[in-house]
Amino acid sequence: MGHATISGLPVRLAEKKPPGTRAYETLDVVTNVWGLIPRENIPVYRYDFRVLEEYPPKSNSEPSFKEVSRQTKNDYLTVDRKTKCLTVYQTLLKREKQFFGAVDSLIYDRASILYSLRKLSFPKASGDEQQATFFLKPDELPTNIVNEDCVKIHIHVKPCKEDFQLTMNDLKSCVSNNPDEINHSLQQFLEILAMQEVFFMEGRFVSYGAGECYLMYPNQFGFGEGDTPELEEGKYVAVGAAKGVRIVEGPRGFEGGINAALVIDEGGSILRRSRVILMRGIDHLSIAILSKALKGLFVRCNYGKNRAFTIGGVSKENARTSKLVSRTGEMSVEKYFEMKYSVKLKYPTLPLIMERCKTKSNFYPMEVLIVCENQRVSKGQQTPSQVQTMIRVWSILCLA
- Residue 378 placed within a domain: no
pLDDT value for 256: 63
pLDDT tens, position by position, 259-282: 889 999 887 787 887 766 655 556
147, pLDDT greater than 50: yes
Boundary of a domain, candidates 108, 131, 166: 166
Instruction: Looking at the structure, tell me whether residues 48 and 129 fall in a common domain.
Output: yes
Instruction: Looking at the structure, tell me whether residues 122 and 179 fall in a common domain.
Output: no
Boundary of a domain, candidates 273, 290, 312: 273
In whole angstroms, give the CA distance from residue 355 to residue 295: 10
Nearest in space to 242 (alpha carbons), one of 48, 376, 113: 376
In whole angstroms, give the CA distance from residue 45 to residue 356: 43
Cα 340–Cα 342–Cα 348 angle in degrees, nearest 5: 90
- Residue 62 placed within a domain: yes
CB of 390 closer than 8 Å to CB of 268 = yes
SS3 content of the chain, % helix, strand, coil (to 5): 25, 30, 45
- Residue 11 placed within a domain: no
Task: Give the domain range for residue 324.
Answer: 276-371
Over residues 69-83, mean pLDDT: 90
In whole angstroms, give the CA distance from residue 221 to residue 223: 6
Residue 257 in 3-state DSSP?
A: coil
pLDDT value for 157: 97
Say how many domains are in the chain: 3
Instruction: Looking at the structure, tell me whether residues 300 and 221 fall in a common domain.
Output: no
Percent of the chain having pLDDT more than 90? 39
Instruction: Looking at the structure, tell me whether residues 123 and 63 fall in a common domain.
Output: yes
- Residue 16 placed within a domain: no
pTM over 0.85? The answer is no
Name the pLDDT band for 399 (thresholds 50, 70, 90).
Answer: very low
Q: Which of 44-53, 160-169, 284-293 has the lowest mean pLDDT?
A: 284-293
Instruction: Looking at the structure, tell me whether residues 247 and 340 fall in a common domain.
Output: no
Instruction: Looking at the structure, tell me whether residues 179 and 231 fall in a common domain.
Output: yes
Percent of the chain having pLDDT more than 70? 90
Boundary of a domain, candidates 241, 273, 305: 273
- Residue 1 placed within a domain: no
400, pLDDT greater than 70: no
Residue type, 355: E
Name the residue with higher pLDDT: 165 or 390. 165
Nearest in space to 334 (alpha carbons), one of 307, 365, 368: 365
Over residues 131-159, mean pLDDT: 94
- Residue 175 placed within a domain: yes
Instruction: Looking at the structure, tell me whether residues 212 and 127 fall in a common domain.
Output: no
pLDDT tens, position by position, 228-239: 777 777 778 888
pLDDT value for 240: 86
CATH of the domain at 336: 2.170.260.10
The mean predicted confidence, pLDDT, of the chain is 85
Instruction: Looking at the structure, tell me whether residues 55 and 133 fall in a common domain.
Output: yes
Over residues 362-367, mean pLDDT: 92
DSSP 8-state symbol, 28:
-
Q: Which of 26-30, 92-96, 267-271 has the lowest mean pLDDT?
A: 267-271
191, pLDDT greater than 90: yes
- Residue 242 placed within a domain: yes
> Is residue 250 left, alpha or beta, with left meaning phi > 0 and alpha meaning psi from -120 to 50?
left
Q: Which of 81-85, 284-288, 337-341 has the lowest mean pLDDT?
A: 284-288
Instruction: Looking at the structure, tell me whether residues 125 and 191 fall in a common domain.
Output: no
Name the pLDDT band for 28 (thresholds 50, 70, 90).
Answer: confident
Over residues 7-34, mean pLDDT: 80
CB of 169 closer than 8 Å to CB of 1 = no
